[in-house]
Structure 1
Amino acid sequence: MTSEVFEHPALTTAASRLSALRAAAGRLGVPDPVAALRHLDCSPASIRTSASAVDTGALAVTSAQAEFRAGVDRAENGGSTETFGTWADTVDGQYVAAARAAASTAAVGVRIAERLDELASSVSAEVSLIAASAGSSVAAVLAGDRSAEAVSEVSAACTAVIRAVSAKVATLSSLAAELEPLTTPAVELS
């Protein structure tokens, strides 16, 4: 049996552990338990890398803001007009807001990556136990047994895997709520 590869290594492991259950499910025409894992597949490492890049960007904006502020201070002390000072304060505030928004975005990215990693690892362990507990019935079905008991246990195990994945997917709405504030521009440029 060929095992599927997922973005998250724990899900690849789970798919491998579900391969016999999947084969039995296929013989019985019940839902594929491995297919359910696709709904939770993710790459926390990629999300962390992106969050780190955003955080690095926040540091660059903070550095640019500091250079800008120093230049404004020099210009204001050199007798520049009050209008320039007001404009410069506005731009300075935009730099600060952009840096704050980038740092906040990076922090959300790290939290999301951690939560997705936790969910994938948790579901992997849970579905592996489900598959193991149905092992004798799975082996029986694969050997040709179509008794009500074996068929029922394999079907119930597939349903339990799908429910376990669905329960984890349902918790993702809280992550979506964290992303909502990031959908509007952090800074409106003047």
Structure 2
Amino acid sequence: MTLELFEHPALTSTAARLASLRAAAGRIGAPDPVAVLRHLDCAPSAIRTSAAAVDAGSVVVTTAAAEFRTGVDLAETGGSAETFGTWADTVDGQYAEAARAAASTAALGLLIADRLDALAVSTATEVSAIAEAAQPAASAVLSDDRSAEVVSTVSGACASVVRTVQQKVASLSSLAAQLEPLTTPAVDLS
């Protein structure tokens, strides 16, 4: 058997623990307990890295906004200060909004990474326990025992893995609502 690799290390180690159950499932036509784990595969460390980059960008925008505001304050003492001031206030507001949006996006990225990480780890733990409980039956099936009891145990374990993953995936719907604001531009530059 080849080692099934996942982005999340807990799922990779769980896939290894499911090897026997997977092989038994294949022999009796039950759902593949390793394949279903793909629905929860994620790379929280990559999301955290991206969030950190966005956060660093928000700091740059905040610094640029402060420098811009200082320049505006100096320029507003000139002849056409009112027209320039109105334009500058608009740009300054856009800088501030972009910085807030970037910081908010970074914070949300960290939240998502933590939530996905926790879901992958808890799924790995639950699924590993299911596989461990079914190990004797899986071994029996792999030894060509097709008695109703062992086939039912293997089939039931695979169905339990599928239900566990489905429940975890369903719990992600609350994150979707938090992602909605990211689908529109943070700042209208027109």
Structure 2 counterpart of 1:72:
72
How far the C-alpha of 1:78 sits from its partner, in A, is: 3.7
Structure 2 counterpart of 1:46:
46
Structure 2 counterpart of 1:180:
180
Is residue 58 of structure 2 the alignment partner of residue 61 of structure 1? no
> Take 1:167 and 1:159, find their aligned partners in 2: how far apart are those partners?
12
Query: Per the alignment, in what secondary structure is the counterpart of residue 33 of structure 1?
Result: coil
Identity between Structure 1 and Structure 2 (%): 70
Name the count of aligned residue pairs.
190
> Take 1:65 and 1:169, find their aligned partners in 2: how far apart are those partners?
40
> Take 1:34 and 1:185, find their aligned partners in 2: how far apart are those partners?
38
Query: Per the alignment, in what secondary structure is the counterpart of residue 77 of structure 1?
Result: coil
The two structures have a TM-score, normalised by structure 1, of 0.98
How far the C-alpha of 1:79 sits from its partner, in A, is: 4.2
How far the C-alpha of 1:2 sits from its partner, in A, is: 1.6
How far the C-alpha of 1:3 sits from its partner, in A, is: 1.9
The two structures have a TM-score, normalised by structure 2, of 0.98
**Alpha-carbon deviations, 1:21-45, whole Å to 9, x = none?**
0000001011100000000000000
- Shift >4 Å, 4+ stretches: none
Structure 2 counterpart of 1:121:
121
Structure 2 counterpart of 1:164:
164
Name the amino acid aligned to 2:83.
Answer: T
Structure 2 counterpart of 1:36:
36
Structure 1 counterpart of 2:141:
141
How far the C-alpha of 1:172 sits from its partner, in A, is: 1.1
Name the amino acid aligned to 2:36.
Answer: A
**Farther off after superposition, 21-30 or 80-89:** 80-89
Unaligned 5+ residue runs, structure 1?
none
Is residue 52 of structure 2 the alignment partner of residue 88 of structure 1? no
> Take 1:55 and 1:109, find their aligned partners in 2: how far apart are those partners?
10
> Take 1:61 and 1:81, find their aligned partners in 2: how far apart are those partners?
24
Unaligned 5+ residue runs, structure 2?
none
How far the C-alpha of 1:166 sits from its partner, in A, is: 0.6
> Take 2:79 and 2:68, find their aligned partners in 1: how far apart are those partners?
17
> Take 2:30 and 2:161, find their aligned partners in 1: how far apart are those partners?
12
Is residue 6 of structure 2 the alignment partner of residue 6 of structure 1? yes
> Take 2:54 and 2:173, find their aligned partners in 1: how far apart are those partners?
23
